Amino acid sequence: MEVSRATHPVERLSGRRGLLIGLGLGVVLTAGGMALLSRAPVRQAALPNGAALGAAVLLIYAVLVLLFSDFLHPITILVALPFSIGGAILGLLFAQKELGLFALIGIVLLMGLVTKNSILLVDYAVMNQREGKSVRQAVFDSGIARLRPILMTTIAMITGMLPIALGLGAGSEVRSPMAIAVIGGLTTSTLLTVVVVPVIFTYIEYVQNQVFRPVLKHATERRAQDDTLVEDPQLTGTSREIDRN
């Protein structure tokens, strides 16, 4: 082992002497051997995570469109996403944690967890409508039937995140913001999803019944008439004579 003079200046961070080494995440080795994260590289990492957040929302919407064969009901499901982000930020404020890299990872993780509750409600409501129930009755039955599985899965997820949020175990203090963001987002989104998503579902159904379905019905009838005229030449000639007169 060869000992030489240090080429990097020794700086002070929070009253401790430390050496900044270039690992891409701004890791600082203090005199006591503790590894800390500087704030500047974490802020620089917020931009890629913001792009990942937007890409996650777009991919979720695309998958939901394919599953429901509809462009409006996926919007009802995605309504729960702002509730989860607000809950994650409130959880970080309450726990006095920074909105750093691990917290942003937790928020991206929330995108898939939160939509699960909305999918359960919307899917069961659509199934009830296919059975001939009204929109109001379908929403009520969906809330009653899906409340228990929503609460069970949410409580299980929060319980599994508690040890990390409390900082138990080696290295859990670094991952604590991620768990706190997930717990806060799941709590607020679950409480608000059960109330808000059924209301948005009724408005979406109203828009479909009043705007989109009449337009599609008129287009379908017009196309059926055109196909009939193409298949029967006599009707085509008769229609031309009527137009001339």
Q: How far apart are CA 36 and CA 26, in angstroms?
A: 8
**Cα dihedral across residues 147, 152, 155, 160: positive or negative:** negative
Domain count, the chain: 2
Is residue 82 within 8 A of residue 171, CB to CB? The reply is no
- Residue 152 confidence class, pLDDT cut points 50, 70, 90: very high
10 Å CB burial of residue 129 (0-12, 13-18, 19+) is middle
> For position 41, what pLDDT does the model report?
45
Q: Are 29 and 53 in the same domain?
A: no
- pLDDT for residue 212: 64
One domain for residues 23 and 141:
no
Res 239: pLDDT: 46
Q: What pLDDT does residue 175 have?
A: 82
Cα–Cα distance for residue pair 245/236, rounded to 1 Å: 15
For the stretch 199-223, pLDDT in tens is 999 998 888 878 766 665 655 666 6
Clarify whether residues 25 and 112 are in a common domain. no
Q: Please tell me whether residues 32 and 131 are part of one structural domain.
A: no
- Domain span at residue 213 reads 40-227
pLDDT at 40: 44
Q: What is the CATH number of the domain that holds 56?
A: 1.20.1640.10
**Worst-scoring range by mean pLDDT, 101-105, 160-164, 233-237?**
233-237
> How does the average pLDDT of the chain come out, rounded?
74
Query: Which pLDDT tens digit goes with each residue over 64-112?
Result: 888 888 888 888 888 888 888 888 989 999 888 888 788 888 888 888 8
Q: 44 and 33 in one domain?
A: no
Interval 21-77: pLDDT, tens: 444 444 444 444 444 444 444 444 444 456 777 887 888 889 888 888 888 888 888
pLDDT recorded at residue 183 = 92
Q: Are residues 108 and 156 in the same domain?
A: yes
- pLDDT for position 229: 55
Same domain (yes/no): 63, 182: yes
Examine the domain organization and report whether 19 and 122 are in the same domain: no
